[in-house]
Amino acid sequence: MDKTTFFNTLALACEQNSISALATPAVREHLFALYELLVSENSKYNLTAITSPEDVIYKHFVDCMLLAQHIPADSTLIDVGCGAGFPSLPLCIVRPDLKITALDSTNKKIHFIQLVAERLKLQNITAICGRAEEIARDVAFRDSFDISTARAVANFPVLCELCLPFVRPGGVFLAMKGRYSEQEFNISPSSVGQLSANAPIVSTYLLNIGDANEQRTLIKVNKIGKTRDNFPRKYAQITKKPLI
C-alpha cells in the first residue's frame, strides 16, 4: 500500500472509531514507518499473522490506539507478551508521555521492537526478552508499574497471574480481549484477592472495520496491595491450576 492510500485508510479508520484526534501528522508518519518495517521484517521472521494493510491499520493500529484513553498521563506501563509490539508500539507513538516496557519471551520479536525504536527514534520504549512469571520476581519490575496490559496472550485467569504482579498497589491491569465470554472472564473475588486485586470491571465495545465491526472487551483490575510471595507461580502450575 502506498503512503497516500495508507494515510487515507488510517484517517477513515480513526474517524470510524472516534480517535481522529490521535492521528496527528507526526503520528501518521510514524505509523506508516512502522507498517513498512512490519511488512519487510515479517517476510523474514514471521512476526505476525495479520499482514494485509487494512488489517494492520484496523486490527493492530486502531485496536491498540483505542487503549490510550484508559491510561492516565505520564504512566509507566508494561506490555506483557507484546509480540511484535502490540499494543506497546502504537501506544508509544500516540502517547510520548508514557514510559513503556515491552516484554516477550521470543527474541526475534524483541529485536523487531528494538529495530523500530531505533529507526523511529522512539525514546519512551524499552524492549526486554523474558518470561513474565520470571521477570515478575525481579524487584526492579515487581509491584512497580502504574499499568500492565496484555493482548491475545492467554486466557483471563492465567493472564491475571502473569500481569498483576507487575502492578504497584493503586495501579491497574488492563486486559485487551476479543468477544465477551462469561465463562472466561468470571474469575472469583477470592482468586483476584490472592493476587492482591479487586474484582474485575468488564466493559465491551465495538471495533469498527469499514462496514463491519467486531466486539472487543476491556477488563480493568485494580491492584490494592503488594504481590504475595507465592505469586506468580511456575508457568506449568499457572496453566494446570489456574486461579478461577
DSSP calls for the chain? --HHHHHHHHHHHHHHTT-GGG--HHHHHHHHHHHHHHHHHHHHH---S--SHHHIIIIIIIHHHTTGGGS-TT-EEEEET-TTTTTHHHHHHH-TTSEEEEEES-HHHHHHHHHHHHHTT--SEEEEES-HHHHTTSTTTTT-EEEEEEESSS-HHHHHHHHGGGEEEEEEEEEEESS--HHHH---HHHHHHTTBPPPEEEEEEEEETTEEEEEEEEEEEB-SPPPTT-S--HHHHHHS---
Judged by CB, which is closer to ligand SAH: 83, or 171?
83
CA dihedral 128, 134, 137, 139 (to 10 degrees): -20
**152 is a contact residue toward ligand SAH (CB under 6 A):** yes
At residue 68, φ and ψ (nearest 5 deg) are: -55, -40
**Position among 142, 151, 177, 216 found at the interface with ligand SAH (CB under 6 A):** 151
The piece of 36-44, 125-133, 167-175, 198-206 that touches ligand SAH (CB under 6 A) is: 125-133
Q: Closest distance between ligand SAH and the C-beta of residue 196, in Å?
A: 20
**57 is a contact residue toward ligand SAH (CB under 6 A):** no
Tell me how many residues contact ligand SAH (CB under 6 A).
17
**146 is a contact residue toward ligand SAH (CB under 6 A):** no
**42 is a contact residue toward ligand SAH (CB under 6 A):** no
The piece of 3-11, 89-97, 147-155, 187-195 that touches ligand SAH (CB under 6 A) is: 147-155
Q: Which of residues 59-88 bind ligand SAH (CB under 6 A)?
A: 81-83, 86
Residue nearest to ligand SAH (CB): 83
**Position among 65, 132, 192, 197 found at the interface with ligand SAH (CB under 6 A):** 132
Judged by CB, which is closer to ligand SAH: 133, or 146?
133
Instruction: Write out the three cell numbers for 196.
Output: 492482591
Q: Which of residues 185-244 bind ligand SAH (CB under 6 A)?
A: 235
Q: Closest distance between ligand SAH and the C-beta of residue 24, in Å?
A: 24
Binding site for ligand SAH (CB under 6 A): 81-83, 86, 103-106, 109, 131-133, 151-153, 162, 235
